[in-house]
Amino acid sequence: MSFDAICAVWDQKDLTTAQKIILFSIGYRANKNNTCWPSINRIMADTSIGDRHTVINAIKTLTEKGYIEVVKAEGRSNRYINQCQKYYQC
């Protein structure tokens, strides 16, 4: 995630601090197609957010607001697609 993209996330007034940090984590782990597969535990470790429900709720909100897309995967980590075009020209 570039410095400009980080600044663009910080400028989002409709996100809480936890939601922004989780979006940073997803952006950091994303490949060139803006896709990644971190587990909830990995996101918790990356962000130092110790409450699983906080992470799950933040992901739900980020999805509802269009910042990320979640593709459910049974028995594996979900796929997260960073919809960076919502807040930054990626």
The 10s digit of each residue's pLDDT in 24-36 is: 999 999 999 989 9
Burial class of residue 46 (count of CB atoms within 10 Å of its CB; 0-12, 13-18, 19+): middle
Q: Kindly list the structural domains of the chain, giving each domain's residue range(s) and its CATH number in brackets, ordered by start.
A: 3-86 (1.10.10.10)
Segment 35-41 shows an average pLDDT of: 95
Q: Which of 73, 86, 79 is nearest to 33 (CA)?
A: 79
The overall average pLDDT reported for the chain is 91
Place of tokens 């999805």: 63
Put simply, whether the predicted model's pTM sits higher than 0.85 gets the answer yes
